[in-house]
Amino acid sequence: MFEYQDFQSFKAQHKAGVDYQIRARNGVSGILLMAPHGGRIEPGTAEIADAVAGKEHAFYTFSGIRKKRNRLLHVTSRLFDEPRALDMVRRVAAIVAIHGCRQAAPVVYSGGRHKQLRRRIDGALTDAGFSVGQHPKLPGLHPTNICNRGRCGMGVQLEISAGLRHEIFGDPKSGQKLPKTVVFRAFVVAVRAALSEYLNAHPASIKEVKK
């Protein structure tokens, strides 16, 4: 897969509204839910991030909307510097980035530099019956990984396997309007509970910088 060096090199080849779209909203919690490879790039990730964000957490997705070959729109996380995304990450305490990987087994791979928040999310997902592990090639530890570019320099990266996204949505390749299953609700509830517990334990993180 071709690796763009930055968003400028990406933008020179692709058009907003034709190849991709960006959706975002602010929150009040100091946590940002991101799907930098949403839409048809990594199907289902934007829907999960949006649902977990709810009304209190900030939300951002960069989504592929082409009819085919959306993998060409993949900007790797450590080089993801789309301007709206950078503006949002600089104003929050921590980021949880939702990704999709190709493994057939139904599993969530947890990564990122924010060990405390990771432990809470891992525990909540495990208690809800999900299999949680660490991906050997996608640890999410690089300091310029978009999940680690919040104010504290740490975040969480959740790689959701193709097998689990199939359980969550039934068919994650079906397009933008994906069905919401019982598994979807269980996943969202678990992650939201972990975020609430973390914020209750660290009330200083609740403030999100306003422009």
Q: What is the pLDDT of residues 139-168, one digit of tens each?
A: 999 999 999 999 999 999 999 999 999 999
- Give the pLDDT confidence score for residue 170 in this predicted structure: 80
Q: What is the pLDDT of residues 53-76, one digit of tens each?
A: 999 999 999 999 999 999 999 999
Task: Provide the mean pLDDT of the chain.
Answer: 91
Q: Could you tell me the pLDDT band of residue 32, with boundaries at 50, 70 and 90?
A: very high
- Give the pLDDT confidence score for residue 105 in this predicted structure: 96
- Give the pLDDT confidence score for residue 1 in this predicted structure: 53
Q: Identify whether the C-beta of residue 139 lies closer than 8 Å to the C-beta of residue 113.
A: no
- Strands across the sheet containing 132-133: 20-25, 58-64, 31-39, 94-101, 155-161, 108-111, 132-133
Q: Could you tell me the pLDDT band of residue 172, with boundaries at 50, 70 and 90?
A: low
Sketch the domain layout of the chain as residue ranges: 7-200
Check pLDDT > 60 for residue 175.
Answer: no
Closest CA to 190 of 97, 125, 106: 125
Please report, rounded to a whole number, the percentage of residues in the chain having pLDDT higher than 70: 91
Write the CA distances from 10 to 20, 79, 152, integer angstroms: 11, 11, 28
Q: Could you tell me the pLDDT band of residue 205, with boundaries at 50, 70 and 90?
A: low
- Give the pLDDT confidence score for residue 203 in this predicted structure: 73
Q: Identify whether the C-beta of residue 129 lies closer than 8 Å to the C-beta of residue 69.
A: no
- C-alpha 126/C-alpha 144 separation (Å) is 28
Check pLDDT > 90 for residue 5.
Answer: no
| Interior angle at CA 42, CA 40 and CA 46, nearest 5 | 85
- The pTM for the full model equals 0.92
Which is the CATH superfamily of the domain at 7-200? Answer: Poly-gamma-glutamate hydrolase, zinc-binding motif (3.40.630.100)
